[in-house]
Structure 1
Amino acid sequence: MIKVVRGNPTPEELAAALAVVQARAAATAAAGTGAPRPRAGWSDPARIARGALPRPGTRTWARTYWPG
């Protein structure tokens, strides 16, 4: 379902926008890539905290940087 939130498009503008959305959906369906691609290693959030995190204690404030 498509909903116009702002503005007052003409029927021609609305038809053009709908044609683009339908063409994009048809191209995606034709490609057959329904499964998500695996995440690249550099964008994996788990890589940021691979090492042990600093434990609270003396001078903890000095170790509040991203490990790595």
Structure 2
Amino acid sequence: MSAEEPLFRVVRGVPTAEELAALIGAIVVRSRPAVAPARVNPSVWARSGRPAGTALAAGPGGWRSAGLPR
């Protein structure tokens, strides 16, 4: 591909400058590699409402034991 050759071309219709800008923006975003979101450590306040280190009991009566102190 030479420097004079366009990267893409419109084959039908007459897009506005805004439509071309939206198309180019979409192409740029899709061509970038996906980045995994950074893990956020929960705040002290959020951790205070979670059970400390033990998994909740599954099975009969599990819902009851989930609300009882350990």
Work out whether the TM-score is over 0.5.
no
Larger Rg: 2
TM range (shorter): 0.3 to 0.5
Q: Report the TM-score when normalising by structure 2.
A: 0.38
Query: Whose helix fraction is larger, Structure 1's or Structure 2's?
Result: 1
Q: Which has the higher contact order (CA 8 A, sep 6+)?
A: 1
Q: Report the TM-score when normalising by structure 1.
A: 0.39
